[in-house]
Amino acid sequence: TDIVEKETYTFEDRGGDYISLRPEGTAPICRAYLQNGMHNLPQPIRLYYSGPFFRYDRPQAGRYRQLHQFGSELIGDSNSSSDAEIIQFAWTVFKSLGIKNIKLLLNSIGDSTCREKYIGELTNHLNQNIDSLSHKDCIQRLKTNPLRILDCKESSCKNITRTAPTSIEFLCSECLSHWNQTKTLLNDLSIDYVIDTTLVRGLDYYSRTVFEIVPNTRGQQNTLLAGGRYDGLIEQLGGNPTPAIGFALGIERTIEIMQIQK
């Protein structure tokens, strides 16, 4: 992923050990869940965190190399009601802060089974238009993680992905049912959303529901909050298969949008 390949602060300390400053909070929460035996407690488990994180990225408005995030995770339930619960919580946070003119972007990228067929079709489409991929990172992503090309902001790449197949078209019956039920619950909660089929997450452990909350203001770093379902991550860390969903909210960006809207 971009975070691992380009954005982590990794260095050798005085003792000769290689250190990476934490770039995100979901994986640490999942390790804490396992190491503290929370899988033995009644499920689901609801957790939150707040603290500093570090990304070696080009500093600009709304983007810092040391940033702070608040996050919430719901671990141990696969039902779409958990998707709606965590999204409602995220939406309520912004509403309680008096933040206006925001929108919820929503997509489903399926699970590892149906996503494999989709990635194959997406790769074929991108290969047919490879001469128009202007961003050098996207040329590399075509080999390693074609989904990330959907997130590219370069106009030439956006022109290609605009006509690309969507992940929703390739959802298996279980993922499609989960997707439709999540949308129904959000409608019942009167939470408006915009389906964005180019929405993917920057880390590879996400599955099914992914979402972002963004301001309707142009000319600034857009994403205030991002999240999604990561049903396979705890298993990758050595635990039993455990469904989970969560989000992270950028505190600096939230403060900035509050100042703008004063």
* Token pair in block for residue 224: 């205030």
* Token pair in block for residue 63: 């983007």
Which residues in the chain come in under a pLDDT of 70?
A: 1-6, 59-62, 134-135, 202-203, 217-221
Residue in 255, 202, 257 with CA at minimum distance from that of residue 227: 202
d(CA 174, CA 191) in angstroms, rounded, equals: 23
* Token pair in block for residue 189: 């909660």
The pLDDT of residue 134: 65
| Signed CA dihedral, 76, 2, 107, 60: sign only | positive
State pTM to two decimals: 0.89
* Token pair in block for residue 94: 């912004």
| Signed CA dihedral, 125, 129, 133, 138: sign only | positive
* Token pair in block for residue 246: 């969560």
Q: Are 150 and 200 in contact (CB under 8 A)?
A: yes
Interior/surface letters 27-36, b for 16+ CB within 10 angstroms, e for the rest: bebbeebeee
Asked, as a colleague might, if the bond just before 165 is cis with ω within 30 of 0, I would say no
* Token pair in block for residue 145: 């993680």
The pLDDT of residue 9: 87
The pLDDT of residue 62: 66
Burial class (CB in 10 A: 0-12, 13-18, 19+), 188: exposed
- Encode pLDDT of 37-74 as tens digits: 999 999 999 999 999 999 887 766 667 889 999 999 99
